[in-house]
Chain A
Amino acid sequence: MAPIGVDEWVARSGDRRDQHSGLRGQLARANERVGWWPRLLLVGLVALLYGKVIVGGNVNYAQTGFNVVLYAILALGLNIVVGWAGLLDLGYIAFFGAGAYIYALFSSHAFGNLPLDTGGVLLPAVASIPIAVVGVGLLGLLIGLVALRLSGDYLAIVTLFVGQAFAEAVNNVAPGTLGGANGLFGLKGFHIGSAIIGSTLGYYWFAVIVLLVLMALLHLLDTSRTGRAWRALRDDPLAAEVMTIPVNKVKVMAFTFGAIVAALAGTIFAAQQSSVFSTNFSAQTLILIYACLVLGGAGSIAGAVLGGVVVTVAQQLLSSPIDSAYLFYGILVIVLIARVRPWQYLAAVVAAIVAFGFAAHAIVGAISHRAIAGSPGSSGWFAGALRHFVIVPAGSPLTYGNVLYVAMICMVIGVVQLHGIRRLVAVVPTVYVAICCWEARLTLDPGITAQIMIGAILIVTMAARPEGLLGTRRVEVV
């Protein structure tokens, strides 16, 4: 007789896992067999490929690559505090900024403005980076100690203020030294002796090396007793304390490590930009870092890095109108493919949209020529095809576009409330209105549209996968 409690169903779960068919199953099994460092090498390879092949002298691509790696590093640091230790630090940006500003102070003539006029303290990077990192590390320690009194959402708000206060302080206090609203510029880049990193691509390589080393070190840390202590702290601080974990010390450690990583990122950022401004460290930037981490999967190193890639690339795409259009239509297609199953329904819906569009265009055109005289906002090869599809009045009047925008929002919300066949039917006019709105209105204000799309992406990705791309579902005991 089987002993009570042995779960045969569970025992065979290993077999069931092997039954995942096709590519997904193979990838999953390969993932489990392989150790962690080949995966790290893969990341390194991708970075190498990007830098050598794709960049090819194009400064914009180099800048994008650099931004990606920078945000990946920042997300990794935030992951320690938020993902592993579960402490909601909304002031993380202050560590980033402090690191950048300290580097700036020691790499410029900022101190030369003081009455002592030492002619500025220009230290080589080998000295100024550690000063920044250690200094901010101490700041992290301090904030950590303060955080001991607070928990959960109260911690969030106090750290939020520290972050806000930092931006305000650096903007208003001691404008002679800190540069005030104009910031500090003309910073000397990373150099040892006479060798200096001068180009964005150079900083890209530097940042890639830092990222790889950091990923390795953090993984080793995660699988050690410290990582276990952080994860225990996140799950149940009281139980952790009773199980020999010095919760206070571990909390402060998390803050300190996070601060150190952010400071390092700050120095690299300041050196690459050759300047620092208080606006570099606004709430907007903090939100981006959080988006990187949460979208990628909080608690996972690979997730933080992937999130950095996804968010930065999306942001980059959104800043150019042509790429924005690709992103918009691309997302439309992906959402349809992902949500309309099986493929027969998908084909029917797409056909219906096309038919609906051409029909609507023709009907409205027959009624009033002016109503379709305008041209779609997108440029490029599909503008021609769209001309007979979307309804864009002559002169692209804003009112029409605005009404369309409001209609689109209402219809999208409406579609989500419906189910089954009614939803599929409602999707057709909704998608058409969305495309018309894009072409008639949203393309006219690419900057604003980019922000709206970021907001929409955040909402939709969280609704679809709250744990992030590479995160795991957690059980939370409230």
Chain B
Amino acid sequence: MAPLLELDQVSLSFGGLRALTSLDLHVNENEIVSVIGPNGAGKTTLFNVITGIYQPAGDIRFDGTSLIGRRPHAITGMGIARTFQSLRLFLNMTVKENVKAATYGGTHASPIESMLRLPRARREEREVEARALEVLGFFGQRLQGYRFDQPAYVLSYANRRRLEIARAMATGARMLLLDEPAAGMNPNETHEITELIARLRDERGYTILVIEHDMHVVEGISDRVVALDHGEKLTEGSFHEVSNHPQVIEAYLGRNPEALQK
């Protein structure tokens, strides 16, 4: 079966800096693939290129259709949603509104219809409300009840990360790109996130591409791991294969293999 997401010889340069070089990558449906690499390896650039923020050389195909040249909102509409490494929530909007805002692409009521509350607008609003509740419900009690109408800037860091994922889910995507979802979390929260990602695939059928530094998370969830450095793919395979690859150890984990054993 063809992969859901396929990158074909993707390259990107910023002036003289080669951010990505001839990258080949694929993600099959329902897979969880982790991308690891030192800082500056090009991991977030990879996400930016997939979501259309930068236009690379080469081809990127999602479900067979090329993504090159499309605007970000169109790409997300096709089924790929992402979170950001440094959170980018709509801080002044409430939790529910953050999630609802992401449903814009899936709704079609015109401003006139919205103003006059015509049937299509009303129906879509009901659907949007239901979707918001459903998506926020995925996170247990964390983003429920009194939280719905709180502005996003009052949320704790962990809840903000969860809200970002919820917002990405609300876009109706099939595939999620999670950029360091466990960054800055304590062990308990990290464990929760790991379970959450697994649930996203098992219960909701998402295909997930994850950037992570925390090896426990990577080990716990990945079907496959891809290692990048200096914009190039070093290797890919199972966690065990990749973490024992000499180049990966040297580039990312340092010459001290004990970093793995922690």
Who on chain A is nearest to B109 by CB? Answer: A225
Whether A477 contacts B76 by the Cβ 8 Å rule is no
- Chain A residues contacting B124 (CB-CB under 8 Å) are 225
Task: Write out the residue numbers on chain A whose beta carbons fall within 8 Å of the beta carbon of B72.
Answer: 241-242
In the complex, B215 has a CB within 8 A of chain A: no
Q: In the complex, which residue of chain A has the Cβ closest to the Cβ of B172? A: A244
12 other A-B residue contacts (CB within 8 Å) besides A234-B92, A242-B76, A243-B81? A3-B141, A5-B158, A7-B156, A217-B115, A224-B109, A226-B114, A228-B104, A235-B91, A239-B89, A244-B102, A244-B171, A477-B91
Residues A5 and B156 in contact in the complex (CB < 8 Å), given A229-B104, A246-B71: yes
Contact present for A242 and B111 (CB under 8 Å):
no
Binding site for A on B (CB under 8 A): 51, 53, 71-73, 76-77, 81-82, 84, 88-93, 97, 100-107, 109, 111, 114-117, 121, 124-125, 128, 140-142, 146, 150-151, 153-154, 156, 158-159, 167-168, 171, 188-189, 192
List chain B residues, Cβ under 8 A from A224: 109, 111, 114-115, 121, 125
A257 interfacial contact with B, CB 8 Å? yes
B93 contacts A232, CB within 8 Å? Answer: yes
Residues of B within 8 A of A242 (CB): 51, 53, 72-73, 76, 81-82
The answer to whether the Cβ of A127 comes within 8 Å of any Cβ in the partner chain is no
A4 contacts the other chain (CB 8 A): yes
Neighbour of A225 across the interface among B82, B128, B142, CB < 8 A: B128
The 3 closest A-B pairs by CB, nearest first: A244-B105, A224-B114, A239-B88
Given A220-B115, A224-B121, check contact A247 B93 (CB 8 Å): no
> B105 to chain A: which residues have CB within 8 Å?
243-246
Expressed in whole angstroms, the minimum distance between the Cβ of B61 and any Cβ of chain A is 19
How far, in whole Å, are A253 and B111 apart by their CA atoms in the complex? Answer: 9
A239 to B109 CA separation, bound complex (whole angstroms): 22
Q: Flag if A228 contacts B101 (CB, 8 Å).
A: yes
Q: Are B146 and A14 in contact (CB under 8 A)?
A: yes
Q: How large is the interface on A (under 10, 10 to 19, 20 to 34, 35 or more residues)?
A: 35 or more
B84: A residues at CB distance < 8 A: 239
Residues 29-54 (chain A) with a chain B CB within 8 angstroms: none
Q: In whole angstroms, what is the CA distance A224 to B101 when docked? A: 10
Interface string of A208-247 (1 = CB under 8 A from B): 0000000001001100111011011011101111111111
- By beta carbon, the residue of chain B nearest A477 is B91
Q: Given A225-B124, A226-B114, A228-B93, answer yes or no on A244-B104 (Cβ-Cβ < 8 Å).
A: yes
- Rounded to whole angstroms, the CA-CA distance of A477 and B106 in the bound complex is 28
Give complex CA distance A474, B151 in Å.
10
Chain A residues near B73 (CB-CB < 8 A): 241-247
- State whether the Cβ of A195 lies closer than 8 Å to any Cβ in chain B: no
Q: Check A243 against B167 for contact (C-beta < 8 Å).
A: yes
Query: In this assembly, does A464 line the interface, its C-beta being within 8 Å of a C-beta of chain B?
Result: no
**Residues on A with beta carbons closer than 8 Å to the beta carbon of B141:** 3, 6
Give CA–CA (A4, B104) in the complex, Å. 32
Cβ of B42 to closest chain A Cβ, rounded Å: 19
User: Does A366 lie at the interface of the complex (its beta carbon under 8 Å from any beta carbon of B)?
Assistant: no
Q: List 14 A-B contacts (CB under 8 A).
A: A3-B140, A4-B188, A14-B146, A228-B93, A232-B101, A235-B90, A236-B89, A238-B53, A239-B88, A243-B102, A244-B102, A244-B104, A245-B104, A472-B92
Q: Which residue of A lies closest to B154 (CB)?
A: A10
| Min distance, Cβ B261 to any Cβ of chain A, angstroms | 27
Taking the closest CB of chain A, its distance from the CB of B89, in whole angstroms, is 7
Q: How far is the CA of A240 from the CA of B105 in the complex (A)?
A: 11
A247 to B72, CA, bound (A): 10
A13, A245, A253, A477: the one within 8 Å of B101 (CB): A245
| CB pair B90 A244 closer than 8 Å | no
B117 is contacted by which of A220, A226, A229 (Cβ under 8 Å)? A220
Taken residue by residue from 1 to 24, chain A's Cβ proximity to chain B (1 for < 8 Å, 0 otherwise) reads as 001111100110110000000000
Q: Which of A441-478 contact B (CB under 8 A)?
A: 472, 474-475, 477
* CB of B116, distance to nearest CB on chain A (Å): 8
Nearest Cβ on chain A to B99's Cβ, whole angstroms: 10
Q: Which residues of B contact A7 (CB under 8 A)?
A: 156
Residues of B within 8 A of A474 (CB): 92
With a cutoff of 8 Å between Cβ atoms, the chain A residues found around residue B189 in the complex are: 4-5
Q: Once the chains bind, are A236 and B107 in contact (CB under 8 Å)?
A: no
Question: In the complex, what residues of B have CB within 8 A of residue A247's CB?
Answer: 73
A474 to B91, CA, bound (A): 8
Q: In the complex, what residues of B have CB within 8 A of residue A229's CB?
A: 101, 104
Q: Which residue of A lies closest to B74 (CB)?
A: A246
**Does B114 lie within 8 Å of A225, measured CB to CB?**
yes
- Among the listed A14, A221, A239, which residue makes an inter-chain contact with B90, where contact means beta carbons less than 8 Å apart? A239
Cα–Cα, bound, A152→B76 (Å) = 25
Query: Bound complex: CA of A220 vs CA of B121, how far in Å?
Result: 11
The residue of chain A having its C-beta at the shortest distance from the C-beta of B91 within the complex is: A475
In the bound complex, how far is the Cα of B146 from the Cα of A253, in angstroms?
A: 33
**Chain B residue with minimal CB distance to A228?**
B101
Q: Which residue of the partner chain B has the closest CB to A224?
A: B114
Give Cα A475 to B77, complex, Å: 28
A253-B110 Cα distance, complex, nearest whole Å: 11
Give Cα distance in the complex from A148 to B252, angstroms.
Answer: 41
Question: Which one of B114, B128, B146 lies within 8 Å of A13 (CB-CB)?
Answer: B146
A241 to B104 CA separation, bound complex (whole angstroms): 10
Bound complex: CA A243 to CA B156 (Å):
22
Indicate whether A244 sits within 8 Å of B167 (C-beta atoms), given known contacts A4-B188, A10-B146, A231-B90.
no
- List the A side residues contacting B92 at CB < 8 Å: 231, 234-235, 472, 474-475
B172 smallest CB distance to A (angstroms): 8
Q: Which residues of chain A are within 8 angstroms of B82 by Cβ–Cβ distance?
A: 242
Chain B proximity of A119: nearest CB distance (Å): 37
Shortest A147–chain B CB gap in Å is 17
Q: A11 contacts B91, CB within 8 Å? A: no
**A220-B117, A221-B114, A477-B91 known; A243+B159 contact, CB < 8 A:** no
The docked-state distance in angstroms from the alpha carbon of A246 to that of B125 is 19
